Each structure stands twice: as C-alpha cells, then as structure tokens.
Structure 1
Amino acid sequence: MRTPQSSNPHFVQHISITAITLMTLYPAMLAGAFVGYQILFLGQRPPLNEFTAELITIGLGFMAGVGCLSYGIDRLHIPYLPFLARVGAVLTISGGVIIQAKMISKLLLENYTFGKFVLHLTLLLLSCFVVALLDHVHPRPMRAQYAIPILILEVIHLNIMVIHYVLIGAKSPATVLGDLTLFTTIITLALAFLGQSRRVVNLLAYKLTKTLVEM
C-alpha cells in the first residue's frame, strides 16, 4: 500500500513548509490588519516606540512567512503555495483600497492632522509593499491587475478634488497639499506596479532637459 510519504519523497518537507508559512505569514497579516483597524477606525494613535515595536514584530513574522513561501514555490514547487500568495496579495490590496478610501474621505471633510495623515499614508505604503512582495514570489505575477483598483479610486479622488475645490474651495492649504501628496503617491505606486515608472521618469527627464537646452 502506497503512503503519501512513499509517493512523494518530499511530503514531510512540503507539509512542514506549508505549516510554517501558515503559522507565520497569515498571523502577521492579521496582526497588521488589526493594527490598521485600530488606527483607521478607532482613531488610536500609538506612541512611536510602540508602533515601531509592532511593525518590527509583524515584519519579522511576515518576512519569515514570505521566505518559506518563496522557498516552497521556487525550490520545492509546492503546487498550492502560489494560491496562498495570491490570496494574501488580494486581501492586502483590498485593505490598501480601504485605507485609500478612508484618506480620501478625511481629506474631503478636511478632518486631518499632519500626524494622522502621515500615519495613514505609512499604512498605505506598507500595504502596497506587502502586495509587491507577495506578488514577487508568485510564479505568475499580476502586479498590473493590483494597480487597477487603486487607480480607479484615485480617478474618483481626482474628480472629487475638482468638484470640491471649484464649487466649495479649501479651508486650509494643508488640505490641498494632502490631496496632492496622496494623488502623487498613488499614481507613483500604480506606475511602479505597471512597470512604467522608469519610462515615465526617463520621459520627464528628457522633456526637462530639452526645455532647458532650448531656453
């Protein structure tokens, strides 16, 4: 009678890597989601030392999970690990969209302090970084698809900005700066996901150089 061990000599290794991945990657992601929920929806603003400690511990767990995930996919070719990576990336980009929507709403209401804006922007950048890492270890990257939801939401944000500033006006210049910062950040991230950031930078550099030469 054939056992899983006899049919697959790497059976124990496959199970071990999968178990370690599940026990490190997803708990770290859940912890990150919980911290984000506390900051975004409960209005908690942890002290810098506590926030740094949380980021370090969550980051260690996440990197351990990604390391096992990468090893299992690249070296052991475990067939179901890419699915785990894809699920993690989809959940994380969904969280990033929620953060982005929350930031847009707070900017629209002009209900932002500088500290909270920076904190929320940090969460957004971290979520995109997580998506990029998870997509990098996947054998079939879908980074361009991950750019679509944040781009769609940013187009909506742009229209809201136009309507808001034309019809209502801004009470504070800081709000305008916040809108521009968020818009520029999202467009830059989307271009990076689409693999077009270098091309755009080169084009802008060329146009700037040409303009300066012709002056």
Structure 2
Amino acid sequence: MADNIVILTGAGISAESGLGTFRDEGGLWAQHAIEDVATPEGFARNPELVHAFYNARRKQSAQAAPNAAHKALADLEKTHSGNVLIVTQNVDGLHEKAGSQNVLHMHGALAGALCHSCGHRWRAPVDMRPDDRCPACTAPATRPDVVWFGEIPYYMEQISDALTQADLFVSIGTSGEVYPAANFVAEADYHGAHTVELNLEPSSGVSRFAEVHLGPATEIVPAWVQQELLR
C-alpha cells in the first residue's frame, strides 16, 4: 500500500447524501446563476440573496448524513499505517461527520462565517444576514466562509506540498473542470504518484489518470478502499 495518499473529493461524493452538484436539474444551483451567488461581485450586488442561498445550503447540509463513500474514506484513514489526506472542494462537512480527521477544505465550509472587513472567522449560525456584525470588529461585514469563483482557494501551499510527496493520488466525484484542483493530477503524476479517478462518469481530465473506475460513489469508493487495504 502507498505510504502517502492524497484524495481529492468533489460534489459527486456527496450527491448520494442528497446534496446536489452544480449540474443537477431542480437543485439549489439550478435555481441561481453562479455569478449571482458564488462570486464576490454577486455578494456586493445582492448580499440578501447570497445569504439566503447559503442559509438554505447550510440547513440542507446539516440534515444530510455521510454515505458509504465518506465512511469508506474514514475507515481508510483509521486503518492505513501511512498518511491519508483528504482535500475536498465540498463545503458540507460530511467527511468529518463520517469520522475523517485529516481534511482540508480548499473551498471553505458552510459551518464558517468570515468578516470581509477584518478577516475574523467564527462558527456560522444557521441563518446569517447582511446586517450581522463581526464579533471581533463589530462591522456589519459578515459573509459565508466559502471560496467563491475568482478567489484563491485555501491551503494551497499545504496541498502542493502533499502532492509532491504523494505515492497515490485519487480524485473522487469531480468534474475536472475547476482549477486549480483540475491540475492536481498532473502535479501528483509529475512527482511520481500513481493516479486514480473514481467517478460516476469520466471527468474532462480522465486521460490524465493511470487508473479509472466508474460508477456510483457509494459502490466504487468502498470497493476501491477494500482493494487498497488488501495490497
């Protein structure tokens, strides 16, 4: 078994927990333009709309339970004698609910609040409003602590270091279209890692992976984990 495993997860791993991806028809994302609810400019134009959108996502996430794929990754972390790092593009917190501890939320988390005036962070209430005041500086500058399009993802230096040391890189439930995460496979491959894609359908970067398994996350992720633990 590989000593250092880096796992990238996207919306596809949480879809079977009832949390929709960007492309799901009828879901929260389908009801809003991304530029209106997931950009700094959209927040500046209409903070009420953005807060309402993330309040709904926060409630939905709080009610969701981790599925077999999340639990399998938590089991891998507990069982593996080496290092397992989950880098997630998701903001839902289901990896932690499943028991994973070594998780980096590169796009932030619904559970967090951020002051866009002083940078202070705190745990978000279920409902946030534009006039909520920062507990540190008291400015009415509260926003969700999520990374929007056009902003720099969190933990990039730490992620890059992990990719250079990875023996195995696994991408689960991602479209392969959003950078910089879409380039992680190339970085890991350059430094000698074996690369695996686990996805419902081939991503746009599927040709970059040495090994590919397709199917529902709740089926292929536990199967892959069991295979990996037997190595």
Give me the TM-score of the superposition, normalised by structure 2: 0.25
Larger relative helix fraction: 1
Q: Which is bigger in relative contact order (C-alpha 8 A, separation at least 6)?
A: 2
Give me the TM-score of the superposition, normalised by structure 1: 0.26
Structure having the higher Rg:
1
Larger relative strand fraction: 2
